């Protein structure tokens, strides 16, 4: 939201008051409390008829400082509030010191200095050792605003006709870029954008987002987490070019500044604050196949799909039943359509026993349709959100007469979990939690009267996914739970995993999805997926095959569409050519399967450190390379593999390699970075490069499915290694078995961990000569 009309004028209908000086500094239990009048105080008379802002600057933990700005402290601070420090708050002994530059609060490696000059407002955030300036709150950077502008101060005695805002403006340095703020599909660098953090079902081709996360990462070595689930408006160099403005409607605004100095360290500290991602089981990394959305299917269709995939040498680890496993007009009532699935428990058991699939997932949402079996019971028991007059809140958008489960009601949570347990009893292993964005804020009253409906809008995604995830954990174990969620907010990374929502079947939409995955990964989400081939429309064969290559290099991979199937033989009339859809899918599925020893080990590190597995933004691995902060068409898979999807029908692709020697995964040819390169690829490859000094462990060629022994019969591939290069070996549960390491003599230490007929290749992996014919360096 913009409060000004350019540099000199206030926006029409708005009154703005700024903190003009720090009048008083009081030391508190955790830091400093600053009294900041909205005019400079030169005499006692200046203290009258004037608003003040209180800015509390406190040490949260090492490298993290909170800043809370308050106008009227008597305003009730309703919930819900983010569940911060879920694993416990680290101890911190803050330090307050006074010197020539002012009063400084230090929280380990991060400090904030309040300038000591009279009649100034100046707060600088910097590394405690003084080596790095991060950002500042300077003159006219903290304030309050009214709209409409009151013509007389007496009018503010009745605030019912006014909106009140608090805002802060942190400085942007020259060349500084800003990233994150959830899964956003527009420009990767947010500088110059206006961003509203408000969950919405807008698809991937709009400025709306399913997953709004109130955290952004700066290229200068810090991040900002805004501590409220309510709507937040940001003007990122878009109102004042040299500042990031954060505003909320209300009387207080709190955010945390998080110091790295590296972006990985920023995310590590952010994950301490909001929660680390949880582990997901090895089977979830395999290929997921969906029925698609409005397609016509029954038990015979499902079986034919899985048999067709097996015949085409593509194992499916998870089969997903989308919406129409329930009858039309009944979603979500947790009841299989008896005409199409007369005995779902037996059917699911048959699928698993046949070996066609390991696990089964079903679609649900938090909406309860009036015509479904669940509505009457839920309404009578008070499990659904109500209007202020006591009636059940309903509308006809999406499902006729649908209500919304009120997860602030503990009894509603118990009931919902019992419905989920009914699905688990029938053999369901995973849940796709769709929707959850269109949460009403007007004329509603939650069971928990202490919550603010506007704050519940974004926060609903957290409590709903938490309910389902914990139900899965209770049934299957703490590390076996898997969601496939669309809506999210800060902290929802604790309940993996998520996918990118509704994208079109176009190369532009694939690029949108890449940008969305990169941004969400920079908010601490380790695991991310998308609809291979695009959701809306029917993909052309070339788009499908290029998307297959991209999708199988994401942490999780799912074939899913809207009104058309995504099994490969329906895309290109069942072509049997080597570069047809079926063979392309088989090759990329096999590649991901072979990568599982590497992927699963990297996933463990991602969970421990709060990092994305894939898509991992280039800046996380190469923060000192300025180009890395602007790369939005490529990504890292873990720390050692670089992937660049192909977006052009010709197969031509341009990509960037940072400094070092990089080896093509497909040909073992090397390139030296930094620099931009162009290649042309067939459908069985893309620019996939291995970082120098990498020990890459691959599964045995021909292994089927994502679950196998990751230490047996493996191929250990060495890429320009030096002494100390290493790779962790993990078992099927993700537990570390030990480390393979290059010793002083160039030999491989830790060989006793390996089993079976394993091999070692010193110059990269054993490659197939066929790739030499389909990859052209331009």
The answer to whether the CB of 70 falls within 8 A of the CB of 251 is yes
Q: Is 434 among the residues known to form the active site? A: yes
Instruction: Enumerate long-range contacts of 679-682, CB under 8 Å, 24 or more apart.
Output: 679/652, 679/653, 679/655, 679/775, 679/776, 679/777, 679/778, 680/650, 680/651, 680/652, 680/653, 680/775, 680/776, 680/778, 681/646, 681/651, 681/653, 681/774, 681/775, 681/776, 682/579, 682/651, 682/774, 682/775
Catalytic member of 201, 437, 504, 728: 437
The answer to whether the CB of 684 falls within 8 A of the CB of 587 is yes
Helices vs strands, H then E, count in the chain: 11, 43
Distance separating alpha carbons of residues 741 and 749, to the nearest angstrom: 5
Quick one: DSSP state of residue 11? P
Q: Is 275 left (phi over 0), alpha (psi -120 to 50) or beta?
A: left
Quick one: DSSP state of residue 774? H
> From the centroid of its chain, how far is CA 486?
10
Instruction: Tell me the angle at which helices 344-353 and 299-311 cross, rounded to the nearest 10 degrees.
Output: 10
- Which whole-number Å values give the CA distances from 169 to 282, 525, 526, 718, in the listed order? 44, 27, 30, 49
- Rg, C-alpha atoms of the chain: 27
Catalytic member of 227, 434, 480, 621: 434
Strands of the sheet containing 748-749, edge to edge, are 726-730, 736-742, 748-749
* Strands 635-637 vs 726-730: parallel, antiparallel or unpaired: unpaired
Distance separating alpha carbons of residues 618 and 705, to the nearest angstrom: 29
DSSP 178-232: EEEEES--S-SS-TTEEEEE-B----SSSS-BSBEEEEEEETTSEEEEE--SS-E
Q: Is 632 among the residues known to form the active site? A: no
Half-sphere exposure of residue 708: CA atoms within 13 angstroms, side-chain side: 25
Cis ω before 615 (30° cut-off from 0): yes
Distance separating alpha carbons of residues 453 and 445, to the nearest angstrom: 7
> From the centroid of its chain, how far is CA 261?
21
The answer to whether the CB of 163 falls within 8 A of the CB of 146 is yes
The answer to whether the CB of 659 falls within 8 A of the CB of 625 is yes
Q: Is 235 among the residues known to form the active site? A: no
- Which whole-number Å values give the CA distances from 481 to 457, 465, 538, 708, in the listed order? 25, 11, 32, 19
Catalytic member of 317, 333, 502, 679: 502
Q: % helix / strand / coil in the chain, to the nearest 5?
A: 25, 30, 45
Q: Which residues are catalytic?
A: 434, 437, 502
């Amino acid at each position: 939201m913009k409060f000004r009309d350019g540099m000199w004028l206030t926006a029409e209908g708005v009154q703005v008051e700024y903190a003009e000086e720090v009048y008083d500094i009081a030391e508190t239990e955790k830091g400093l409390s600053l009294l900041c009048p909205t005019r400079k105080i030169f005499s006692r008379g200046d203290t009258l008829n004037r608003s003040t802002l209180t800015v509390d600057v406190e040490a949260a933990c090492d490298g993290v400082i909170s800043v809370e700005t308050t106008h009227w402290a008597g305003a009730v601070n309703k919930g819900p509030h983010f569940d911060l420090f879920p694993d416990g708050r680290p101890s911190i002994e803050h330090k307050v010191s006074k010197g020539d530059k002012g009063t400084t609060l230090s929280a380990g490696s991060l400090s904030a200095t309040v300038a000591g000059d009279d009649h100034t407002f100046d707060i600088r955030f910097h590394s405690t050792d003084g080596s790095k300036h991060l950002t500042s709150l300077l003159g006219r950077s903290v304030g309050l605003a009214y709209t409409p502008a009151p013509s007389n101060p007496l009018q503010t005695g009745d605030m019912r006709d006014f909106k009140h805002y608090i805002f802060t403006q942190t400085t942007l340095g020259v060349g500084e870029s800003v990233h994150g703020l959830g899964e956003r599909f527009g420009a990767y660098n947010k500088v110059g954008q206006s961003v509203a953090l408000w969950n919405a079902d807008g698809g991937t081709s709009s400025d709306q987002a399913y997953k709004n996360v109130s955290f952004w990462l700066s290229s200068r070595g810090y991040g900002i987490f805004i501590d409220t689930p309510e709507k937040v408006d940001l003007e990122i160099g878009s109102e004042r070019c040299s500042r990031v403005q954060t505003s909320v409607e209300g009387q207080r605004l709190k955010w945390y500044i998080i110091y790295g100095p590296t972006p990985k360290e920023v995310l590590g500290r952010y994950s301490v604050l909001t929660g680390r991602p949880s582990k997901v089981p090895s089977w979830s990394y395999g290929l997921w196949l969906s029925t698609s959305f409005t397609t016509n299917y029954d038990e015979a269709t499902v079986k034919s799909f899985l048999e067709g995939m097996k015949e085409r040498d593509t194992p499916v680890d998870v089969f997903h039943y989308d919406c129409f496993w329930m009858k039309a007009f009944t979603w979500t009532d947790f009841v299989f359509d008896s005409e199409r699935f007369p005995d779902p428990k037996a059917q699911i058991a048959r699928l698993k026993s046949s070996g066609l699939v390991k696990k089964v997932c079903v679609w649900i949402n938090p909406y309860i349709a009036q015509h479904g079996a669940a509505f009457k019971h839920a309404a009578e028991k008070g499990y659904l959100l109500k209007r202020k007059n006591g009636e059940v809140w309903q509308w006809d958008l999406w499902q006729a007469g649908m209500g919304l489960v009120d997860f602030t009601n503990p009894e509603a949570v118990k009931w919902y979990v019992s419905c989920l347990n009914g699905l688990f009893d029938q053999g369901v292993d995973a849940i796709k939690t769709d929707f959850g964005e269109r949460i009403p804020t007007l004329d509603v009253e939650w069971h928990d009267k202490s919550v603010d409906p506007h704050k519940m809008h974004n926060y609903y995604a957290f409590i709903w996914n938490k309910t389902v995830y914990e139900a899965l954990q209770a049934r299957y174990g703490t590390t076996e739970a898997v969601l496939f969620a669309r809506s999210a907010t800060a902290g929802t990374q604790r309940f993996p995993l998520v996918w990118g929502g509704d994208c079109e079947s176009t190369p532009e939409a694939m690029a949108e999805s890449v940008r969305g995955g990169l941004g969400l990964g920079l908010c601490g989400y380790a695991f991310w997926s998308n609809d291979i081939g695009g959701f809306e429309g029917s993909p052309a064969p070339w788009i499908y095959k290029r998307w297959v290559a991209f999708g199988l290099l994401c942490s999780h991979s799912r074939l899913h569409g809207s009104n058309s199937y995504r099994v490969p033989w329906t895309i290109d009339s069942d072509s049997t050519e080597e570069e047809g859809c079926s063979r392309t899918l088989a090759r990329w599925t096999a590649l991901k399967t072979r990568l599982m020893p590497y992927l699963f080990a990297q996933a463990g590190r991602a969970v421990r450190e709060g990092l994305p597995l894939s898509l991992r933004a280039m800046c996380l691995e190469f923060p000192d390379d300025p180009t890395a902060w602007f790369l939005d068409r490529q990504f890292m898979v873990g720390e050692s593999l670089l992937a660049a999807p192909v977006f052009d029908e010709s197969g031509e692709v341009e990509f960037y390699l940072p400094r070092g020697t990089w080896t093509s995964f497909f040909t073992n040819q090397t390139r030296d970075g930094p620099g931009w390169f162009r290649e042309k690829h067939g459908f069985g490859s893309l620019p996939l490069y291995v970082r120098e000094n990498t020990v890459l462990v691959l599964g045995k060629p021909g292994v089927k499915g994502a679950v196998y022994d990751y230490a047996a019969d493996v191929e250990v591939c060495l890429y320009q290694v030096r002494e100390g290069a290493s790779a962790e070996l993990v078992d099927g549960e993700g537990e570390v078995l030990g480390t393979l390491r290059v010793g002083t003599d160039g030999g491989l230490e830790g060989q006793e961990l390996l089993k079976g007929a394993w091999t070692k290749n010193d110059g990269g992996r054993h490659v197939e000569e066929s790739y030499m014919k389909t990859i052209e360096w331009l």
